[in-house]
Amino acid sequence: MNIAQVFAHSGMRQLAFKTSGIRGVADLRGRKVSVWFAGNEFPLLATLEKYKIDSSRDVTLVQQPFDMNLLLQKRVDASAAMTYNEYKQVLDAGVKPDDLVVIDFNKEGTAMLEDGIFARADWLAGNTPLAVRFLRASLKGWEFCRDSARQCVEIVLKESPNLGREHQAWMMAEVNKLIWGPPAPRTRAGRMDPDAFTRTADIALKFGVIRKPAEPGAYTHAVWELADKKR
């Protein structure tokens, strides 16, 4: 079960060049669209369905590598991107924000929750105090990265220097937006939004991620409330 929902807002987007003629989701009909087939495809599928676009006939879906070369080389018309990573890769390639159309699944009402903290219910039954301490420490860490972003970036660079300071600083700033807002709703970090849970569970059921409707016990506020009280 989910014991805390770190990201209150989805970072996933679909990008296209304005020169392609795409202005929104409706214009994806008849296009080549790339996405990561690792669970990231379901917000896209839900959005296509919303616009009555058949994902098996009306678009050509393409497996997207973990880079943006398909879009940059214009081998597809639209590609998936996270605000905190791949979007920056496109800008670093010399593309200007004004050259892009950005489809935001949050605005479309088809975004799914990302980056939650989970525990097995049977384990949690006997380890709630440990889960509370873990969650409290995690939330304190995110608070530190909100209030001391530069220091947080330096900590990350010591462990993983590959992406470089500029990119990691971008990632830190964008992730903070997804946790603390805006655009994320201004709520206490980690508290599950029941409406967002229902939307995510409904999409997961519709596209076969889960076989039966998610039960209310799939998430709990109890651990978060104890962790938040002690912070």
- Comparing CA positions, the residue from 222, 140, 228 lying closest to residue 188 is 228
Across the chain, mean pLDDT equals 96
Q: What is the CATH number of the domain that holds 51?
A: 3.40.190.10
What pLDDT was estimated at residue 231? 65
What pLDDT was estimated at residue 188? 85
Q: Is residue 152 part of a domain?
A: yes
Within 10 A of 225 (CB to CB), how many other CB atoms are there? 14
Distances (CA, A) of 35 to 47, 66, 126, 211, 227: 13, 10, 40, 23, 36
What pLDDT was estimated at residue 230? 65
Q: Of 79, 108, 137, which residue constitutes the final position of a domain?
A: 108
Residues 93 and 152 in one domain: no
Q: Can you list the residues of the chain whose pLDDT is less than 50?
A: none
Residue 128 structural domain: 116-198+216-229
Whole-structure pTM value: 0.94
Give the strand pairing for 100-104 and 12-17: antiparallel
User: Two tokens at 220?
Assistant: 């709990």
Q: Is residue 210 part of a domain?
A: no
Residues 101 and 187 in one domain: no
161-190: per-residue pLDDT in tens? 999 999 999 999 999 999 999 888 777 899
Asked if 3 contacts 131 with a C-beta cutoff of 8 angstroms, the reply is yes
Q: Of 67, 89, 108, which residue constitutes the final position of a domain?
A: 108
What is the number of helices (H) and of strands (E) in the chain? Answer: 9, 7
Q: Is residue 29 part of a domain?
A: yes
Q: Where are the alpha helices (DSSP H) in 68-120?
A: 69-72, 86-92, 105-108
What pLDDT was estimated at residue 39? 93
Residues 31 and 77 in one domain: yes
79-114: per-residue pLDDT in tens? 999 999 999 999 999 999 999 999 999 999 999 999
> What is the SS3 assignment for 61?
strand
- Residue 80 corresponds to which amino acid? A
Residues 143 and 223 in one domain: yes
Residues 137 and 98 in one domain: no
Asked if 84 contacts 170 with a C-beta cutoff of 8 angstroms, the reply is yes
Total domains in the chain come to: 2
Residues 135 and 159 in one domain: yes
- Please classify residue 205 by burial: count the beta carbons closer than 10 Å to its beta carbon, then call 0-12 exposed, 13-18 middle and 19+ buried: middle
